[in-house]
Structure 1
Amino acid sequence: MVTRRIFDFPEIGRRGFFAEMDKMKKQIDALSGLVFRTSPSWGYTGAGVFPLINITENLNNYYVRAELPGLNAEDLDIQVMGKNLTISGERKISSEGKDIKYHRSEREAGKFSRIIGLPGEINTENVEAQMKNGLLTVVIPKSEAAKPKQITVK
């Protein structure tokens, strides 16, 4: 009886197999980067969606919280226009030196800009932002038109 292998993977051992899988992932990421990412000359480094954000609301305000580790308040430009909040800045990562060999490099530096569409009209006059321990919190008051109104039934 002859046994036939379903998958014809080379016999490279467990450690070699995972190294090959990591190599393939890097190649696929590089190819998808060429197709789906914007040009670095436009100020986008291709790091993915940065910063990561949460958007919440209560009766009076929208809250946008963004993770910005390693950035200072002076590195940011925050603007509101219409129903949009824009968070822009530049993430700088110091070089470890020219004779350094990287085993993994996932942190990217460069300019970023994120436009966040809010679900309702906002009061652009009283927006407040605070940065603490790498977490940016932007409090955006709702406009009077966006707040719920109690209707009395007659």
Structure 2
Amino acid sequence: MTLIRFTDRPLPRNPWAELEKFKREMDMLWPRFFGGETAAKHVSSVYPPLNISENADNIFIRAELPGIQANDLEIFIEGDTLTIKGERRSKKANEKTSYHRQELEYGRFSRAVALPTKVDADKITALVENGILTITLPKAEEAKPRQITVKAS
């Protein structure tokens, strides 16, 4: 009989987070390896990082977009997919500047997420404040929970 030892270590909150972090680092290294453009011109596919939550009436999407203005963003909804597109612009550095490390990513990005339920597309709102984009998506009436009365026979 084989015994399997279990530990009290908590599981990671997002099992894919380490792989996403690894992918971002590889995205930054790959172009440099072949002598191409710097990775700062290409933002990885998991940008921007975001949270999706909901309550009985709404779905909320919060995305970290430091340094990005509202006029640099486009938000689309098609069916059950919401897409955030934009551009993070870099400030031109002095030509005599040489970098020892360049981790800030610049350039165009696009992130599409599947929504967990139907929403009322005409009532969606979006607000950028202090580098956080908050999108509020009211649920469609047919997607809201309903209480069913139980009758006795």
Q: Could you tell me the TM-score, scaled by structure 2's length?
A: 0.71
Amino acid at match of 1:45: H
Q: Which has the larger radius of gyration?
A: 1
Instruction: Establish whether residue 68 from structure 1 lines up as the match of residue 76 from structure 2.
Output: no
Query: Paired residue for 1:88, among 85, 91, 96?
Result: 85
Cα displacement (A) at 1:33: 4.0
Amino acid at match of 2:112: I
Cα displacement (A) at 1:116: 1.2
Pick closer, same or farther for the CA change 1:71–1:30 going to 2, 3 Å: closer
Indicate if the aligned counterparts of 2:43 and 2:107 stay in contact, CA closer than 8 A.
no
Aligned residues: CA RMSD: 2.4
Cα displacement (A) at 1:32: 7.7
Instruction: Establish whether residue 125 from structure 1 lines up as the match of residue 115 from structure 2.
Output: no
**Gapped runs of 5+ residues in structure 1?**
1-24, 35-39
> After the TM superposition, which parts of structure 1 deviate over 3 Å for at least 4 consecutive aligned residues?
30-34
Q: Could you tell me the TM-score, scaled by structure 1's length?
A: 0.71
Relative to total residues, which structure has the larger helix share, 1 or 2? 1
Question: Sequence identity, in percent?
Answer: 43
* SS in structure 2 of the partner of residue 116 of structure 1: strand
How many residues get paired? Answer: 120
Query: Paired residue for 2:98, among 97, 101, 105?
Result: 101
Amino acid at match of 2:119: I
Pick closer, same or farther for the CA change 1:83–1:111 going to 2, 3 Å: same
Cα displacement (A) at 1:48: 4.8
* SS in structure 1 of the partner of residue 146 of structure 2: coil
Query: Paired residue for 1:52, among 46, 49, 52?
Result: 49
Indicate if the aligned counterparts of 1:82 and 1:122 stay in contact, CA closer than 8 A.
no
Indicate if the aligned counterparts of 2:53 and 2:61 stay in contact, CA closer than 8 A.
yes
**Gapped runs of 5+ residues in structure 2?**
1-21, 32-36
